[in-house]
DNA sequence: AGGCAATACTG
DNA sequence: CAGTAT
DNA sequence: GCCT
């Protein structure tokens, strides 16, 4: 691993998240060099967007809870020198025209130069990736004691959080994984085979995590989850640089139209195909289709906004609004943003809230009041569901859900927002569920099942009965915290940022 | 060959 | 119920 | 498409 030089003239170190810093550099080094600011890479993105250097505070990475935070609070320099290198932790690409030496110092100190080279590389964002199904992960080796336990129970170790860096921006193996990710997107979408998509997602993210460049398929032999079929594809990629099958698919104009249609919130494979068969080819065409229902209508109306990711700094503000209003209406309320925000991602596809009240009663009717108030202050604009039917849950679990759109005063974009209100007994389960990510959820539910439980977002239910009439009980095992839930499953606690699987 | 998490809302 | 969503 |  290249060593990171933190000597002057380096003033800022950008990373995708705290773990990346922790795993890439010795803690002592970080402390010793506390004259350097450690920031999320959004800082430089936003700085470019705003045309000036942004204040560092909202972007700070808490590394040790100690020295980093108190360092250099105010002295915003007029130019920023970004240290580059340090494995894959930094945004600026190593290769390319910019002058970056091997030690990881940026020589000229020109903000624009570094940033512009970054922009070229960042590029692509698609539905199905980078959305809530955050499939951009990156791992560095981190052998702590929990690794063994996790391996034993789940057959894998938790990755260090990678936050929202696209795999393309950091991986040494994009020559392979770019194609695998495309296959994932296709199966997830047009080809309508989620299970197969899952395989590609898993393989691609595993390969993206490797710290060496793969030059031969045999290097992947020990990697589980790769079978005959994938191996053959990777061989072809290594041999020819491409995959015939993918080329053929992508050359098919129908495929791109379907993908376009499915990028609209509320349109899935079936509807996309239906619209294609009716002769539609563009989003403008779709707007003319009267049969489209509530969800896709709103999806079209807010198409461009919904596609935009939410920078973490903005998500922080969104959280303040919702939590603030909730507390004002219901003192003592438990309210927080979950989802990829809670997992520490640098940007989020949407923002999810989980709310409950410790008094065991106030959750009833809370959501309606909260939504009314948020609408009053013109924070919430449209609801994506028709709430008039009331909760439809079979066991009437008293879970209340809102899905809609919101906007900060003066902000550029409307944002997707989900709010769920739980009775207090189910709160930790709701939290666990909506913090995700989806892969993590699947694994712990699979584990729960193996251990004779059913885990969902409102409880942990022992499986009762045998043989034919095997079913789950109706009484959840009580758990007051997420930690307890994981303990009951025999798992060590994982911080939210450790759940980016 | 069958499972792959488990559930809510819409029309 | 099928479709889309989380 | 992988695992059991």
Nucleic acid strand B within 7 Å of A396 CB = no
User: Does A75 have pLDDT greater than 60?
Assistant: no
Q: In which band, very low, low, confident or very high, does the pLDDT at A385 lie, cut at 50, 70 and 90?
A: confident
CB-based contact A20:A163 (threshold 8 Å): yes
Measured CA A424 to C1' B11 distance, in angstroms = 33
Measured CA A270 to C1' C2 distance, in angstroms = 10
Residues 179-238, chain A: which have Cβ under 7 A from strand D? 195-196, 198-199, 224-231, 233
Measured CA A166 to C1' D2 distance, in angstroms = 25
Q: In which band, very low, low, confident or very high, does the pLDDT at A464 lie, cut at 50, 70 and 90?
A: confident
CATH number attached to the domain at A173-237: 1.10.150.110
How confident is the model at residue A12, as a pLDDT? 54
User: Does A227 have pLDDT greater than 90?
Assistant: yes
At A240-279, the pLDDT tens digits run 999 999 999 999 999 999 999 999 999 999 999 999 999 9
How confident is the model at residue A129, as a pLDDT? 40
Q: Which nt is closest to the CA of A439, judged by C1'?
A: B5
How confident is the model at residue A34, as a pLDDT? 42
At A422-436, the pLDDT tens digits run 999 999 999 999 999
Residue with tokens 């903000």: A111
What stretches of A156-243 show up as alpha helix (H) in DSSP?
167-170, 174-188, 194-209, 228-240
Residues 293-312, chain A: which have Cβ under 7 A from strand B? 293-295
- Of the listed ranges A21-30, A78-87, A420-429, A479-488, the least confidently predicted one is A78-87
Q: How far apart are CA A323 and CA A172, in angstroms?
A: 40
Beta strands in A6-49 (DSSP E): 12-15, 37-40
Query: Nearest CA to the C1' of D1 belongs to which residue?
Result: A196
What is the DSSP secondary structure assignment for residue A282, as one 8-state letter? S
Measured CA A127 to C1' B9 distance, in angstroms = 21
Domain residue spans in chain A?
12-59, 173-237, 252-303, 310-430, 434-498
CB-based contact A15:A6 (threshold 8 Å): no
Please state, for a pLDDT cut of 90, what percent of chain A lies above it: 60
Q: How far apart are CA A72 and CA A156, in angstroms?
A: 39
Residue A192: CB atoms within 10 A of its CB come to 17
Cα–Cα nearest to A474, from A454, A488, A493: A454
- Catalytic position from the list A233, A235, A320, A369: A233
Backbone angles phi, psi at A153, to 5 degrees: -85, -35
CA torsion, points A358, A361, A362, A365, in degrees to nearest 10?
140
Cα–Cα nearest to A11, from A40, A46, A35, A39: A35
Peptide bond into A437 cis (omega under 30): yes
How confident is the model at residue A154, as a pLDDT? 62
Q: Which nt is closest to the CA of A434, judged by C1'?
A: C6
User: Does A459 have pLDDT greater than 50?
Assistant: yes
- Of the listed ranges A51-55, A325-329, A426-430, A493-497, the least confidently predicted one is A51-55
Query: Nearest CA to the C1' of C6 belongs to which residue?
Result: A434
User: Does A50 have pLDDT greater than 50?
Assistant: no
Q: How far apart are CA A459 and CA A473, in angstroms?
A: 11
User: Does A7 have pLDDT greater than 50?
Assistant: no
Residue A492 or residue A79, greater confidence:
A492
Nucleic acid strand B within 7 Å of A445 CB = yes
Q: Which residues make beta-bridge pairs with A13?
A: A38
CB-based contact A153:A11 (threshold 8 Å): no
Q: Which nt is closest to the CA of A132, judged by C1'?
A: C6
Mean pLDDT of A283-294: 93
Q: How far apart are CA A205 and CA A158, in angstroms?
A: 13
Q: How far apart are CA A193 and CA A185, in angstroms?
A: 10
> Is A434-498 a domain of CATH 3.30.210.10?
yes
At A204, is the secondary structure helix, strand, or coil?
helix
CB-based contact A103:A2 (threshold 8 Å): yes
Is residue A233 annotated as part of the catalytic site, yes or no? yes
The token pair that represents A196 in the structure block: 């197969």
At A151-197, the pLDDT tens digits run 655 655 555 434 333 334 578 999 999 999 999 999 999 999 999 99
The token pair that represents A349 in the structure block: 């596809």
Query: Following DSSP, what letter does each residue of A226-257 receive, concatenated?
Result: --HHHHHHHHHHHHHSS-HHHHHHHH-HHHHH
At A82-129, the pLDDT tens digits run 433 221 222 222 122 222 222 222 222 221 122 222 222 222 334 434
Measured CA A150 to C1' B2 distance, in angstroms = 27
Q: How far apart are CA A425 and CA A409, in angstroms?
A: 35
Nucleotides of B under 7 A from a protein CB: 4-11
CA torsion, points A287, A403, A42, A260, in degrees to nearest 10?
-30
Q: How far apart are CA A260 and CA A281, in angstroms?
A: 9
Is A173-237's fold the same as A252-303's?
Answer: yes
Q: Which nt is closest to the CA of A384, judged by C1'?
A: B9
Q: How far apart are CA A15 and CA A13, in angstroms?
A: 7
Beta strands in A321-433 (DSSP E): 334-337, 347-348, 351-356, 380-383, 400-406, 415-422
Q: Which nt is closest to the CA of A232, judged by C1'?
A: D1
Which CATH number, 3.40.50.300, 3.40.50.720, 3.30.460.10, 1.10.540.10, labels domain A310-430? Answer: 3.30.460.10
The token pair that represents A177 in the structure block: 């994984």
CB-based contact A106:A123 (threshold 8 Å): no
Q: In which band, very low, low, confident or very high, does the pLDDT at A474 lie, cut at 50, 70 and 90?
A: confident
Taken as a whole, chain A contains a residue count of 501
Q: How far apart are CA A381 and CA A412, in angstroms?
A: 14
Query: What's the whole-model pTM score?
Result: 0.75
Looking at the domain A252-303, which fold is it?
A: DNA polymerase; domain 1 (1.10.150)
For A135, A195, A386, A456, the CA distances from A129, given in Å and listed in that order, are 6, 15, 28, 24
Q: In which band, very low, low, confident or very high, does the pLDDT at A30 lie, cut at 50, 70 and 90?
A: very low
């Amino acid at each position: 691993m290249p060593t990171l030089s933190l000597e002057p003239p380096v003033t800022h170190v950008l990373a995708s998240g705290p773990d990346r810093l922790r795993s890439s550099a010795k803690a002592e080094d970080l402390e010793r060099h506390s004259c350097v600011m450690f920031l999320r890479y959004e800082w430089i993105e936003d700085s470019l967007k705003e045309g000036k250097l942004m204040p560092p505070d909202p972007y700070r990475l808490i590394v040790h809870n100690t020295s980093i935070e108190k360092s250099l609070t105010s002295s915003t320099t007029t130019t920023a020198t970004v240290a580059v290198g340090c494995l894959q932790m930094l945004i600026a690409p190593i290769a390319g025209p910019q002058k970056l030496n091997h030690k990881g110092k940026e020589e000229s100190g020109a903000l624009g130069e570094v940033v512009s080279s970054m922009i070229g590389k960042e590029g692509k964002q698609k539905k199905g990736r980078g959305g809530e199904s955050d499939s951009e992960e990156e791992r560095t080796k981190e052998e702590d004691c929990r690794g063994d336990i996790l391996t034993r129970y789940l057959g894998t170790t938790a990755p260090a959080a990678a936050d929202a860096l696209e795999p393309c921006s950091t991986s040494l193996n994009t020559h392979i994984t770019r194609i695998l990710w495309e296959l994932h997107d296709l199966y997830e979408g047009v080809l309508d085979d989620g299970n197969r998509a899952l395989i590609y997602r898993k393989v691609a993210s595993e390969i993206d995590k490797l710290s060496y460049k793969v030059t031969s398929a045999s290097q992947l032999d020990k990697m589980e989850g790769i079978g005959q079929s994938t191996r053959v594809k990777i061989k072809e990629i290594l041999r020819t640089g491409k995959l015939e099958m993918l080329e053929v698919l992508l050359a098919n104009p129908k495929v791109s139209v379907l993908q376009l249609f499915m990028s609209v919130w509320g349109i899935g494979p079936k509807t996309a195909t239906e619209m294609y068969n009716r002769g539609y080819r563009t989003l403008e065409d779709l707007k003319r289709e009267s049969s489209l229902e509530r969800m896709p209508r709103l999806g079209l109306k807010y198409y461009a906004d919904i596609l935009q990711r939410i920078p973490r700094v903005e998500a922080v503000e969104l959280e303040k609004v919702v939590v603030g209003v909730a507390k004002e209406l219901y003192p003592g309320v438990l309210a927080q943003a979950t989802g990829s925000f809670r997992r520490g991602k640098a940007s989020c596809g949407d923002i999810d809230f989980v709310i409950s009240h410790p008094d065991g009663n106030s959750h009833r009717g809370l959501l309606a009041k909260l939504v009314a108030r948020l609408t009053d202050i013109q924070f919430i604009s449209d609801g994506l569901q028709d709430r008039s039917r009331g909760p439809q849950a079979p066991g009437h679990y008293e879970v209340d859900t809102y899905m809609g759109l919101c906007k900060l005063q003066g902000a550029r974009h409307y944002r997707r927002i989900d709010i769920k209100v739980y009775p207090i007994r189910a709160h930790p389960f709701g939290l666990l569920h909506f913090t995700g990510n989806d892969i993590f959820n699947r694994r712990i539910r699979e584990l729960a099942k193996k251990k004779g439980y059913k885990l969902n977002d409102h409880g942990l239910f022992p499986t009762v009965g045998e043989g034919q009439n095997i079913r789950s009980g109706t009484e959840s095992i009580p758990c007051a915290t997420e930690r307890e839930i994981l303990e009951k499953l025999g798992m060590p606690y994982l911080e939210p940022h450790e759940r980016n699987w």
